[in-house]
Structure 1
Amino acid sequence: MKVSPEFRKQLEGYSLTTAEILYRMPDHPSLLQSYVWQDYDIFPEFPTLKKFLDFWTRTLDGPLFKVTVGHCKLIRPAELKAIGAEFRLQ
């Protein structure tokens, strides 16, 4: 059985991060648009989110207004225990 890349990231300390990004519309600067971004990232540095926001400011026309970040550790290495049994449900 293969382990998913997302599960490996969680074991390495990454956890699910969600950011709501409010940005100004390029054609109508008085209007705000919302964009939701979600990926696995490391708390509290958030290198993946920072990389995405750097890309946004360099490449896209809509200037950032506000970024709200939500973060939750789903799996911590200390919570995993190896067991010597396998159970199958049919």
Structure 2
Amino acid sequence: MTIKTADPQFERMLQGYGLTTAEVLYRMPDHPSFLQSFAWQFEDLAPEYPRLRRFLDHWEREIEAAIHSVRIMHAGLIQPRELRLVKDGGYLH
């Protein structure tokens, strides 16, 4: 007898993880008048965004570029859906 387990990625979706896109606008020290953009797409947990926070903390500590702003877009991968009966109380065949 084999025991089947749920896909770990599906379990993460049930926990609330979703597709997150972050766009970081930043300035390099040698060209402070230019805004540059970095876009990153990953799975994260809204609204806390722990993975994004770790990334931004790393950026602040290790990268010389100064962050101007961060724009976050998030889409839950599992959401409530509307269900309707195809045929009231009947069968399709």
Task: Indicate the TM-score class for this superposition, using the shorter chain for normalisation.
Answer: 0.7 to 0.9
SS in 2 for 1:50: helix
Q: CA deviation at 1:57?
A: 0.5
- The structure that is strand-richer by fraction is 2
2:57 aligns to what? 54
State, as a whole percentage, how many aligned pairs show the same letter. Answer: 49
The partner residue of 1:17 within 15, 20, 34 is 20
Contact persistence 1:6–1:40 (CA under 8 A): no
1:86 aligns to what? none
Cα distance in 2, alignment partners of residues 44 and 68 from structure 1: 13
User: TM-score, length-normalised on structure 2?
Assistant: 0.72
Gaps of 5+ in 1: 80-90
User: TM-score, length-normalised on structure 1?
Assistant: 0.74
Cα distance in 1, alignment partners of residues 10 and 28 from structure 2: 36
Contact persistence 2:17–2:77 (CA under 8 A): no
Larger Rg: 2
Letter matched to residue 73 of structure 2: G
The partner residue of 2:46 within 19, 23, 43 is 43
What is the aligned length? 77
Letter matched to residue 52 of structure 2: L
Q: CA deviation at 1:11?
A: 2.1
- The structure that is helix-richer by fraction is 1
SS in 2 for 1:44: coil
Alignment RMSD = 2.0
Contact persistence 1:9–1:40 (CA under 8 A): no
